[in-house]
Amino acid sequence: MPAENLVQAPDSAVDLPRGRRAQSPSPALSLVASLLGFALIMLDASVVNVALPSMGSDLGGGMAGLQWVVDAYTIAFAALLLSTGAFSDRIGATRAYTAGIALFTLASVACGLAPNLPALIGFRVVQGIAAAVVLPTTLALVRQAYADPAQRGRAVSLWAAGGTTAAALGPVAGGALTTAWDWRAIFFINLPVGLIALALTFRAPRSARRPAPLDLPGQLTAVLALAALAFAMIEHGTLALVALGVAVLSLAAFLRIESRHPHPVVPLGLFRNRTVAMAVTAGSALSVAFYGMIFVFSLFFQQVRDQSALAAGLMFLPMTGLLVVVNVLSGRLANRHGPRLPMLTGQLLAVGGLLLLQLVDTDTSLVLTSMLLVPLALGAGLALPPLTAAMMEAVPTDRAGVAAGVLNAARQVSGGLGVAAFGALVATGFEDGLRTSLAISAALLTLTALATTRLARGGPAAPSKDSD
């Protein structure tokens, strides 16, 4: 998915230099370190999908096991994004980044060495936790390295492009590594990159610590609700019903806590703003369609069409390779016409692509199938940057970081739940499950496109007091 505006940087400042730090290192070192960290976690969100059939053949576990390999990472990553910005402020962005990258690198090696599927899923959870710590700190490192606004703007653009490129190359890289060596290679490749990122970070200025409130009860109930909901969607029988009950109770507890906590991880008042509610809903629907279809078609290319992991990865290259270009086009359209036009166009383009994919069956040319995936990616790339910008404009400045965290957590969670739901559907019969998944995605995006038409032509309304 496009990487623009994924997170609002924590407000960590830079400590005064001491001793040898009187000569500040090149800002480029901090930029490269943050870009490597961002690329690592974005790559890991997409590189796994193409390797799933190979994992299943080696470790067993069936469809449910493969879904958990994806969702263990995604749910942990998404749920903890709500609090890791505050955590980063409390210990300093540089320290948080160093700890996050070190943990992510070790967890990646552990994933590569996993002797069985439960161990792999457990280490994927640890990867997700580490990724949630790394993401907000990457932008904080860029922010503290460049004092000049123009230079900082260019650096942030490079940061965003690096994350988008990594996510786009994920399926191809996963296919190539799996075919050339083994599925374990997709995790071992993180080791040298992580070590380089750590080496660069040791030369970056230390970030100051800043008091930042944490909402631990809200965070814990959010994690429990999301994990239980994912379990209910992936598993079957009595345990699934119990998990659904736990999810409902946890969600009720979460809403009660958030309505009373002085510093909630999700300020419910944000959703009184129509632009915020629309942006979160539309961004979630796009994530369901995008991540859900990558998961389903990864299985389709390999398990139904009997293609290699490398061939399957290459099938996604037209879909993902155009995202960076579309992001630039989307920004220009939004600057000229306001956010509503590219948002609405993008969602309708994605709906059209999903309807065209209904034509795909076991006899459809692989090249044609690959091309039919392109409109979905173009639609997502066109809609998401202005959608995020519209939301940021609609909230007060002091709520921007929280709003960004809520939006991106919602997108990641929705992508994980899309994988859970669509995986369950195709497990009962691939072709029928695929068509139902496409129909659900198209229906969700049609509804959010209708909601987008209510956005003001020139952009979102001014921030309201309800957002406070």
DSSP class per residue in 401-413 = HHHHHHHHHHHHH
Instruction: Show the tokens assigned to 66.
Output: 């493969």
Q: Please report the pLDDT score of residue 386 as a whole number.
A: 83
Mean pLDDT of the chain: 83
Which amino acid, 163? G
Can you tell me the distance from the alpha carbon of 139 to that of 137, in angstroms, rounded to the nearest whole number?
Answer: 5
Which residues neighbour 165 within 8 Å (Cβ) at sequence distance 6 or greater?
Answer: 39, 324
Q: Which of 200-204, 288-292, 453-457 has the lowest mean pLDDT?
A: 453-457
Q: Please report the pLDDT score of residue 146 as a whole number.
A: 78
Q: What percent of the chain has pLDDT over 70?
A: 88
- pTM for the whole structure: 0.82
Q: Please report the pLDDT score of residue 164 as a whole number.
A: 74
How many other C-beta atoms are found inside a 10 Å radius of the C-beta of residue 443?
13
Q: Please report the pLDDT score of residue 261 as a whole number.
A: 86
Whether 110 shows a pLDDT value over 70: the answer reads yes
Residue closest to 4 by CA, chosen among 153, 190, 169:
153
Whether 285 shows a pLDDT value over 50: the answer reads yes
Residue closest to 138 by CA, chosen among 158, 123, 124:
158
256 DSSP 8-state letter: H
Can you tell me the distance from the alpha carbon of 119 to that of 124, in angstroms, rounded to the nearest whole number?
Answer: 9
Buried-state track 408-435, b at ≥16 Cβ within 10 A, e below 16 = bbbbbbbbbbbbbbbbbbbbeebeebbb
Q: Please report the pLDDT score of residue 15 as a whole number.
A: 43
Mean pLDDT of 335-362: 89
Q: Please report the pLDDT score of residue 22 as a whole number.
A: 37
Whether 351 shows a pLDDT value over 90: the answer reads yes
- Residue that is written with structure tokens 């000229």 in the block: 336
Taking CA atoms, 433 is separated from 230, 335, 451, in Å, by: 18, 40, 27
Residue 461's pLDDT band, with cuts at 50, 70 and 90, is very low
Mean pLDDT of 341-362: 92
Q: Which of 242-246, 448-452, 458-462 has the lowest mean pLDDT?
A: 458-462
Of 12 and 114, the one with more pLDDT: 114
Q: Please report the pLDDT score of residue 103 as a whole number.
A: 96
Sign of CA dihedral 398, 399, 402, 408: negative
3-class DSSP state for residue 207?
strand
Whether 219 shows a pLDDT value over 60: the answer reads yes
Residue 107 φ/ψ region, left for φ over 0, alpha for ψ in the -120 to 50 degree band, beta for the rest: alpha
Residue closest to 286 by CA, chosen among 344, 335, 338, 244:
344
Q: Please report the pLDDT score of residue 183 as a whole number.
A: 93
Q: What percent of the chain has pLDDT over 90?
A: 32
Residue closest to 210 by CA, chosen among 97, 85, 101, 103:
85
Report pLDDT digits (tens) over 79-109. Answer: 888 787 777 777 787 888 999 999 999 999 9
Mean pLDDT of 154-163: 75
Whether 237 shows a pLDDT value over 90: the answer reads no
CA 204 to chain centre: 26
What are the phi and psi torsion angles at 434 (to 5°)?
-60, -45
Q: Please report the pLDDT score of residue 412 as a whole number.
A: 85
How many other C-beta atoms are found inside a 10 Å radius of the C-beta of residue 75?
27
3-class DSSP state for residue 14?
strand
Report pLDDT digits (tens) over 138-147. Answer: 877 877 777 7
Q: Please report the pLDDT score of residue 407 as a whole number.
A: 82
